Amino acid sequence: MKRLSYLGCGKCRVMILDPMIIWTAILTLVIGPLAWAFKYLVTEVKNLQLLLRETRETYVSKTDLQNDLTQLDRKIDRIEDLLIKVVGNLKIE
């Protein structure tokens, strides 16, 4: 294990830094935030995938909506025809 050496005399001392310590500090200051940002982005993508999956399950497609509306229109027409028959058979006195 290396010891830090000091230069100077008496009250004024200057620490000599090993280049490996400086390199380690630089890597820590760069890689730490990058790792945090990467983790945050991965979490955000997972949340968006979940919301997209829920959206696909919740909302109806355009073709499904058109088919349902066509069936509903046919049933309303049938009810209207039956109502016309019933009203036509009523005798108003």
Tens of pLDDT along 29-58? Answer: 999 999 999 999 999 999 999 999 888 777
pTM beyond 0.85: no
CA–CA dist 15, 4 (Å, integer): 7
> Left, alpha or beta for 16 (phi > 0: left; psi -120 to 50: alpha)?
beta
Q: How confident is the model at residue 74 (pLDDT cuts 50, 70, 90)?
A: very high
Who has greater pLDDT, 16 or 77? 77
Residue-level pLDDT at 31:
93
Residue-level pLDDT at 13:
62
Residue 30 phi/psi, 5-degree rounding, is: -95, -50
Which letter, b or e, does each residue of 28-48 get, where b requires 16 or more Cβ atoms within 10 Å of its Cβ? eeeeeeeeeeeeeeeeeeeee
**Mean pLDDT of the 12-38 span:** 85
**What's the maximum distance between 2 C-alpha atoms anywhere in the chain?**
126
